[in-house]
Structure 1
Amino acid sequence: MSALVFLHIPKTAGTTFHKILTHQYHPREVVIRHDSEGPLPSDLIERMTGSNAQVKLVLGHLSARFHQVLPDVRYLVCLRDPVGRIRSHHEHAKADASHYLHEAARTMSLGDYALSGLSGELRNGMVRMLAGVEDFDQAEVDHSTLATALEVLRTRTHGCVLTSDFDETLLSLSGRMGWKTPWYIRRKVGRGDRQPLDPGVRQVIEEVNRFDTELYRCALESWRAEQGTLGPGFGKEVDTFRRKNRTLGRAVFLAREACRRIGADFPA
């Protein structure tokens, strides 16, 4: 199987999915890397290549550029409704003193934060990362950028996990990939989506992130079409998974995490 790269887009349930992924592979097969570290080193490319590749999974805050040097690479990605993502981004930046936008976010309303242009993450950040935009914070995003992101999503991913349908999309992906049951404990869960939102602020976020909105609409439409082919038993499978994940799943997750930290093999 081709090497996998998880493009961790901030505030899309990526931290939870990150943990799930690291429990599917032995620690020696996993590399954590971020765009901030610069161009891909040649030794990493070599370790991801060939039938005896040492690295099977790379994950981190990464843009989709790996396929430019490794044509067979496949991506995994989590996507989220842009309004919920920006709300969560603002909430997290305000609360976390170590966040690079903390000082600005703590004095800004959500609407001002969305309009601030402080980071490419706040202006169609999902499209930027999927399209592999080089000048991440400064480059303009347009319809051609969206088209590139959609092409990557359709042809270079094994599928995406949607925050709105997390368990459903996770189980569907897990089945296709042949993974162990993807037990998890939610990580870094915000409260933003549970609070009422002023319609004017919603409109501002949607306008600033109009290309992300279209990307998410297409991803959700694709998932709904796939969901329709899974049959009536899939809903029962999801219900059973949710029930077990609260008890058995939590115990297995913690055991897997302990094994990961010491480099041991994982329990099934």
Structure 2
Amino acid sequence: MSEDHLDIFMHVPKTGGTTLSAIFRKQYKPIEIFDHDSFQYKVMKMDQLKAEEKRNIKAVAGHYFYGIHQKFSPRPFNYFTMLRDPVDRVISSYYFLKDYPGYEMVKDMTLEEFVVNGPEASNLQTLLVCGSQKIPDIEKAKENLKTFTVVGVTELFNETLFCLKKEYSWGDIHYTRKNITKNRLAKEEVPLDLINLIRKYNALDLELYDYAKKLLYEKLQSLTVDEQKQLEKFKLEQSALN
């Protein structure tokens, strides 16, 4: 990638993004990357950045909606992201937010109530990728994903990471998993009617997730024989670490 480009990691909550963000940060000096937790807080602080500070920034990471590159206009930019099976993502999000400060409303919710009325429980991935904070637009989301340098999926984390290393010429990408939601039901333990309810409220995310897998598989199929061997070696090394 050109040094002039702004590298943007769109971190979708509960997709393995905290682990990926830690790897991403290792590739830059502290003053070169803008990374905070809250979307509203980040936008406010970004607007306060001085021109010189913005020029020093080479990368952005966080829970941003597509379009955050406009804060750095007219600089060229590229995005990458990680999506996750929507059912797994919603279940993980529910158990994570139950104990997360600022989300007290979730504490007394059942999983079913969270799916119907909870924050971040309905087509969040489509909302983020299409760039709308109100109405999820699946076609716009797909159109945006086509322009992303890498579109990964949590279930193929190592494969995604290998593609990112190749595209961005990253250094060390070995990792230990971070921010894993503990004390949660596995997908297999959730009643089928509740699984179907999650699917109903995340129909667009399911479609977008399938599209993301298609894009990733196409990229993996384009790897050379030597790169495929490197990928298998990396996966074996990671299995020993985690």
- Corresponding residue for residue 47 of structure 2: 41
TM-score by length of structure 2 reads 0.85
Residue 42 (structure 1) shift: 6.5
For 2:109, the aligned partner's letter is M
In the TM superposition, residue 195 of structure 1 has moved relative to its aligned partner by 4.2
Whole-Å separation in 1 of the counterparts to 2:50 and 2:26: 21
Give yes or no for the alignment of 1:149 onto 2:141. yes
Deviation at 1:19, TM superposition (A): 0.2
* Percent identity of equivalent pairs: 26
For residues 2-22 of structure 1, give each alpha carbon's deviation from its aligned partner in whole angstroms, at most 9, with x where no partner exists.
011221111010100110000
- Aligned pair in 2 of structure 1 residues 46, 224: CA closer, same or farther (>3 Å)? same
Superposition misfits of 4+ residues, deviation over 6 angstroms? none
Change (3 A) 1:84 1:236: same
Q: Against the structure 1 CA distance between its residues 194 and 86, is the aligned structure 2 distance closer, same or farther, given a 3 Å change threshold?
A: closer
Give 1:44 shift. 5.6
User: For residues 94-144 of structure 1, what are the alpha-carbon distances to aligned partners after superposition, in whole Å with 9 as ceiling and x for unaligned?
Assistant: 2x252x33x33333322221111x32x2111111111222xx3xx233xxx
Query: Mapping of 1:85-96 within 5 angstroms?
Result: 85-94=89-98, 96=99
Aligned: 1:211 with 2:204: yes
Which residue does 2:127 correspond to in 1? 128
**Paired residue for 1:76?**
80
Q: 1:36-77 CA distances to partner (integer Å, 9 max, x unpaired)?
A: 1245427466644xxxx4111111221112244525221121
Query: How many angstroms does 1:203 deviate by?
Result: 1.0
2:32 aligned to which of 29, 33, 46 = 29
Q: Is the 8 A contact 2:115 2:197 kept in 1?
A: yes
Letter in 1 for 2:17: G
How much does 1:227 deviate? 1.9
Counterparts of residues 151-166 of structure 1 (less than 5 Å): 151-155=143-147, 157-166=148-157
User: Cα gap change, 1:11/1:25 in structure 2, threshold over 3 Å: closer, same or farther?
Assistant: same
Structure 2: how far apart are the matches of 1:67 and 1:29?
Answer: 15
Which one of 23, 28, 31 corresponds to residue 20 of structure 1? 23
Which residue of 167, 170, 173 maps to 1:182? 173
The CA deviation at 1:209 is 0.9
Q: Shift of the alpha carbon at 1:197?
A: 2.6
Secondary structure, aligned partner of 1:24: coil
- Listed as ranges, the gaps of 5+ residues in structure 2 are none
Equivalent residues, number: 232
**In structure 2, what is the Cα distance between the partners aligned to 1:177 and 1:44?**
27
Gaps of 5+ in 1: 251-268
Higher mean displacement: 202-211 or 238-247: 238-247
Comparing 227-236 with 70-79, greater Cα deviation is found at: 227-236
Cα deviation digits, residues 159-207 of structure 1 (max 9, x gap) = 1221010001110121111111311110012354464232211111111
**2:11, 2:81 within 8 Å by CA — same for their partners in 1?**
yes
RMSD: 2.4
> Which residue of structure 2 aligns with residue 108 of structure 1?
109
**SS state of the match for residue 221, structure 1?**
helix
Tell me the amino acid that sits aligned with residue 129 of structure 2: L
Q: Pick closer, same or farther for the CA change 1:246–1:55 going to 2, 3 Å.
A: same
